[in-house]
A = this chain, B = another copy of it.
Amino acid sequence: MHQPDGLVAPCSDILTLLQANSESSQATMRFDRRSPDVYGLAHPKALLKEIAENGEVLQLLGNQHIVSSSQFDGAMFRQLLRLAAKFESNPERYTRFNSPLSGKILINAFYEPSTRTRLSFDSAWHRLGGDTITITDRSSTGIAKGESLEDVAEMFNNYGDCVVLRDNHADSVHRMMGSLRIPIVNAGNGTEEHPTQAMADLYAILKARPELAREDVAADNRIQIGIVGIPRRMRTVRSLLKTLTAFPGIIDQITLIHDHSVSVTDLFDPGQREELEACGLPIGTSHNLKEQLPHLDVIYINAIVPMGQNYETLGRAFHLTASDPFKEGAIVLHPLARGEELDVSLDTTPHNWYFAQARGAVFLRMALLTCLVERAERVMDVI
């Protein structure tokens, strides 16, 4: 196509040579708005079809804090995922033609570093027409003057309509709950839980396999899930496993994959494994990811372990690449900042569902937040 006036100055060929970093500058400045990731664009509609709306269930969230994945049953998870799928199927509809959160203020309090979670909540709230107040640093707050978390929470009642909290102390969210008259969402509390991440993980799995959203799943449709991670020390894994207890019927087997640096006894809290099994989750363990791969429908991998204000990496003995022996249709999920454990060669394979997982997290949070501030009726099909 002929390049019309406007771009590329007459001297541009010469000019590019001027640039400090000529190699990178040679790259075109054009981009393509279309997503290379077909997942997440086609699938939300399919998931939407599988679940019948039940607004009454979502109304129950109007007086709930969101702290643990054990708060919900399958009916609630299905309705939240349905609403997320509805938002994702028609992203423009609720931002441009309707602002369900107009006049509402989110207090986005992140006392621990985060890009994905903070921006994901911030974006979710803005996309629904609300305003946000952000805290990214303890030292910039009254906590630096010795204000208690209970008092900070009492103040938050005056400033906003919902609080999202990320803190490396597991008990901070519990302390704030006591004085809050607005909902608080636990966006990661130390090694304890990260329930909205687990919901986003579930959303990705059910988008990939919508038939799993049905009330009863045929035995031969059940899936095998491999989790590279440590339930005892990773809040994302802890919350995902709790979430799956609401869907024992979709699971054939869960395999915890860990290297020899972590013994089976260090893998779980005392009683954690037994309780999960009592909820109907068949759990195995393995040291050999490659051996497991051909059987796994879902591979969940993560190597970041929160350690107070810092992070430790574990399980980087494991390294997934495009050339590994994946089962056909297998999906790979990764909840956090990607490290060596997940090779970029996977990005362009159909196994890459971790990008769809991250995108879906925004719509999932849109769904949850809308219910928490009692605006669900604005986005229901039937009122």
Contacts and interface: CB of A to CB of B under 8 A. Distances in A.
Interface string A240-273: 0010011000000000000000000000010110
From A92, A145, A191, residue with most partner B Cβ within 10 Å: A145
Contacts of A126: 105, 131, 133
Given A64-B31, A123-B133, A143-B115, A358 B171 contact: no
Contact of A157 (B278, B337, B359, B361): B359
A212 B173 CA distance: 41
Contact of A136 (B65, B137, B178, B361): B137
A154 interface: yes
Q: How many copies of this chain does the complex contain?
A: 3
B192 A10 contact: no
A34 interface: yes
A365 to B, nearest CB: 11
A117 to B, nearest CB: 9
Contacts of A193: 19
A31 to B, nearest CB: 6
A156 to B, nearest CB: 8
Given A21-B170, A31-B65, A105-B127, A70 B148 contact: no
Interface string A329-353: 0000000111100001000000000
A42 interface: no
17 contacts: A7-B73, A11-B278, A12-B70, A15-B245, A19-B70, A19-B192, A21-B174, A24-B175, A31-B177, A31-B180, A92-B103, A103-B129, A113-B145, A115-B152, A115-B155, A150-B344, A158-B361
A191 B19 CA distance: 10
Contacts of A142: 113-116, 336-337
A2 interface: no
A25 B133 CA distance: 27
A73 B120 contact: no
Contacts of A136: 136-137, 140
Contacts of A21: 170-171, 174, 192
Interface in A69-112: 70-76, 79, 92, 95-96, 102-103, 105, 107, 110
A381 interface: no
A323 interface: no
Contacts of A155: 115-116, 119, 358
A148 B340 CA distance: 11
From A131, A157, A159, A193, residue with most partner B Cβ within 10 Å: A159
Nearest to A115: B142
B64 A30 contact: yes
Interface in A190-229: 190-193
A66 B7 CA distance: 11
B190 A20 contact: yes
Interface stretch (A43-51, A55-63, A288-296): A55-63
Contacts of A160: 119, 123
Contacts of A122: 133, 159
A192 B24 CA distance: 12
From A9, A34, A135, residue with most partner B Cβ within 10 Å: A9
A158 B75 CA distance: 27
A109 to B, nearest CB: 10
Given A21-B171, A116-B155, A141-B113, A279 B10 contact: yes
Nearest to A34: B181
Contact of A15 (B129, B150, B242, B337): B242
